[in-house]
Chain A
Amino acid sequence: MKTEKTNPFLISAGGYFKRNLGTIIGLLLLCLIAAISTDKFLTGSNLLNLLKSNAVNAIICCGMLMAILMGQIDISVGSTVGLSGVIGAYMVTNMEMPVWITVVCCILIGCLIGLINGIAVSYFNIPAFVATLATMSIGRGFTQIISGGVSIRIRNDAYTILGTKTFGGVSVIVLYAAVALLVTWLLLNKTRFGYYIYAIGGNRLAAKYSGVNEKLFNMLPYVYIGALCGIGGLIWSARLGSAAATLGTGFEMDAIAAVVIGGTSMSGGIGTVGGTFIGILIIGVLNNGLNLMGINSFWQDVFKGIIILVAVIIDVLRKSKARAD
């Protein structure tokens, strides 16, 4: 199992398994079903491919986890990925800008959208769903404007290599995802930033009365989410070698699903990177398995929706039971 990768510190592997027992069993069951249904599933190349195609989702999930930990949400992530990808492609192709400037710009664009989300949610008290719905539409609009509604072909090897390089068969984007998960784990478990996110999500008033600048620390995670989406867009367009106006469509769905399946409570305060990691794998296996079985992507959406509903219902039932005790 890859679980030890995200949790080499503090928590013993045993505690980790125990805490995420339900989702781990679910993951193994899914793998079993996939392996039985198609002999293509349990091959080295397919498993590597599975990791690669879910790497960007993992990066986005790192941010989504923070939003949901605060009892909020960010549905603008897919649109931000699209915007960053298209801007990246446009800058290196149409404007022939150096790659490093392009990378910095894409990340800054992500941060900017995150900043707008954060200010709207934290300082103007706009419900996160509404604020990020608005920025989602804005981002999508700009993506169309910049790309002119068509796909931009990227002809710059220095750029595409950011998404296509491999190390011993492992794609570089899997490494990006691993770094993002590790950094997020550190942020949440080892820094004041993470400490406050849990406090705000668990009991906002407690944070405020303890002298925490709860508005600032409610805003900052959105900037982090935005930066991650900026990186996600870069990687995705580099990997594909092109950026379409529809890039990133529906990414929010996979991210929310993975975080919620990973045991994060929609009402905030409870959730871990380790749990989310399993959620990401579950979504990955689901997508991959259904693809291999030749079931079309529309059905995948149906299944994912059902899984989110079930995961949230389980969370709510667990909560109300805890209250009754």
Chain B
Amino acid sequence: MSKASLLKMTDISKSFASNVVLKGIDLELGEGEVVALLGENGAGKSTLIKILGGIYRADAGGIYINGEKKEISSAAAAGANGIRIIHQEIILVPDRSIAANVFLGREYRSRLGMIDYKRMQRETQEVIDEFHLNLDASALVRDLSIGMQQLVEIIKAISADAKIVVMDEPTSSLSQGEAETLFRIIEILQKKKVGIIYISHRLEELFRITDRIMVMRDGKTVGDVKTKDAEKEQLINLMVGRELSNYYTRNEHPLRGVSLEVKGLSHEKYFKNVNFKANYGEIVGFAGLVGARRTELMKTIFGTLSKKDGEILLDGKKIEIKRPKDAIDAGIVYVSEDRRGEGLVLLNDVEFNMGLVCLKDFVKGIHVNKPAWRSMVEEYRKKFSIKITSPKQRAGLLSGGNQQKIVLSKWLAKGPKVIILDEPTRGIDVGSKSEIYAIIDELASMGTSIIMVSSELPEIINMCNRCYIMCEGRITGEMKQEEFSQEIIMKYATDSLEHIR
């Protein structure tokens, strides 16, 4: 490497319980260098960054700054070593001024120990002006647009004595103009010999501003190329190039007419003018990257978020969904991606959880038909081979796969027409995954209309009849089974920006 080494991370490994996330990653960063970290969701980028930022501790491996080994045991330690992380989500105090946020944690104090707001305000304004941002340092963060808040995060990170700056999808909430501002900031930082680790899915950006691109997949480094030698196709191949396993169960089923139709659906903030159709007996996929707003779209259809505009039709009839109950009554159910947070009452037992949706069916007046309830639980336990010792076992203690089967049972007991699965196999071991795929296929064979949101492309390609691809709140592509290819889906999910703008 031509430039002096600033940061070196060697052989970094990290596991969460039995889930190995990083398997010996090496990363090197020089002064004034911009290195891109590229990889699919779940490749381990965020974990690596959190280790650098002192939020997680690595199980093995070392971090060297300017050739010196450092223990980064806390966010404060990372900060003391000049490491600044700009998180993807905005982490600011909304009811305080820009200056107060920028100086949080390292505020100036006068001799009497009083906070020197004037000086903080002045210096913040200087940084703002240096980068030609049209902002007032005393403005409340709450009153800024999301893009401007993101820029405040960036100013906050670099205004201190920053040596290594990590930007995690910094442009995800920026407009074109704001993104240009960011690129200008990056150029200025490079001149100041700051090293930058830049995480983004937008390949165009990477080609424009980075010096080197490191590709990660499944917790390993699979490529490290100079940006000027890199080609788009090659990067996409590296990113998705895992072998497609054959644990998918998929049979041909006849389609039985249109079930759900969405016309011109918009949400205040998250998505605009979404149109799509699903059929009975069909599995429709929704592919895209984090921030594509697929979950928000599904939650709007299910009634946990409220729509701004548009229509939802079921069996050709317009339906009004104001709350989840309306959707459930109409026959539309949503299996959340956040199984532990939104799917299960973790402290309660299996029987309790399975009965939550269709409890009404077991209750007549004050009489609870326990035998019927029990037999329902037993039916699904056998059908999905759920591994429990008793229906009284606590849901929170079960494995991810078994939990997902319980959530599925809970919804299927209601006999839905349309079932929306949001990341149905996230955090589930390979064996259970295969079983979940078999359940999904069986549901389709019975004529249920299935909508599957998934960030795992192989899952989409192997399971779906058709798929829509979303990017930043819009549907940017639709493909039929015979046209499926990982490369083209990734293009729709990343490159599509240029077609829109």
By a beta-carbon cutoff of 8 Å, the part of chain A in contact with chain B is: 186, 190-192, 194-195, 198-199, 202-203, 205-213, 269-270, 322, 324
- Which one of B76, B94, B156 lies within 8 Å of A269 (CB-CB)? B94
Interface assignment of B107: CB less than 8 Å from any CB of chain A: yes
Cβ distance B77 to chain A, nearest Cβ, rounded Å:
9
- Which one of A191, A195, A211, A213 lies within 8 Å of B100 (CB-CB)? A195
- Nearest CB to that of A322 among chain B residues? B142
Cβ distance A19 to chain B, nearest Cβ, rounded Å:
13
Cα separation A269 to B79 with both chains bound (whole Å): 25
- Which one of B87, B93, B105 lies within 8 Å of A202 (CB-CB)? B93
Contacts of B114 in A (CB 8 A): 186, 190-191
Cβ distance B74 to chain A, nearest Cβ, rounded Å:
8
What would 9 A/B residue contacts be, using CB atoms closer than 8 Å?
A: A199-B93, A203-B93, A206-B92, A206-B104, A207-B104, A210-B75, A210-B104, A210-B105, A211-B80
Cα separation A198 to B107 with both chains bound (whole Å): 14
- Determine if A211 and B106 form an interchain contact, defined as CB atoms under 8 angstroms apart: yes
- Which one of A190, A206, A324 lies within 8 Å of B115 (CB-CB)? A190
- Determine if B95 and A269 form an interchain contact, defined as CB atoms under 8 angstroms apart: yes
Interface assignment of B232: CB less than 8 Å from any CB of chain A: no
- Determine if A211 and B94 form an interchain contact, defined as CB atoms under 8 angstroms apart: no
- Determine if A212 and B109 form an interchain contact, defined as CB atoms under 8 angstroms apart: no
Cα separation A206 to B101 with both chains bound (whole Å): 9
- State how many residues of chain B have any CB contact under 8 Å with chain A: 26
Told that A198-B93, A210-B79, A269-B95 touch, could you supply 16 new A-B pairs with CB distance under 8 A? Answer: A190-B114, A194-B115, A199-B93, A202-B93, A203-B93, A206-B91, A207-B93, A207-B104, A209-B55, A209-B85, A209-B91, A210-B106, A212-B104, A213-B76, A270-B95, A324-B268
- Determine if B95 and A202 form an interchain contact, defined as CB atoms under 8 angstroms apart: yes
- Which one of A186, A198, A203, A211 lies within 8 Å of B76 (CB-CB)? A211
- Nearest CB to that of B101 among chain A residues? A206
Cβ distance B405 to chain A, nearest Cβ, rounded Å:
32
- Which one of A190, A203, A324 lies within 8 Å of B91 (CB-CB)? A203
Contacts of B94 in A (CB 8 A): 202-203, 269
- Nearest CB to that of B89 among chain A residues? A205
Cβ distance A133 to chain B, nearest Cβ, rounded Å:
22
Contacts of B156 in A (CB 8 A): 210
Most B Cβ at <10 Å: residue of A198, A203, A212: A203
- Determine if B113 and A191 form an interchain contact, defined as CB atoms under 8 angstroms apart: yes
Contacts of A213 in B (CB 8 A): 76
Cβ distance A272 to chain B, nearest Cβ, rounded Å:
11
- Determine if B105 and A207 form an interchain contact, defined as CB atoms under 8 angstroms apart: yes
Q: Which 10 A-B pairs have the closest CB atoms?
A: A210-B105, A202-B93, A211-B76, A211-B105, A210-B104, A190-B114, A211-B79, A206-B91, A203-B93, A212-B105
Given contact pairs A191-B115, A198-B93, A203-B94, A208 touches B75 in the complex (Cβ within 8 A): yes
Contacts of B104 in A (CB 8 A): 195, 199, 206-207, 210, 212
Cβ distance A207 to chain B, nearest Cβ, rounded Å:
7
Cα separation A324 to B87 with both chains bound (whole Å): 24
Most A Cβ at <10 Å: residue of B55, B87, B96, B156: B96
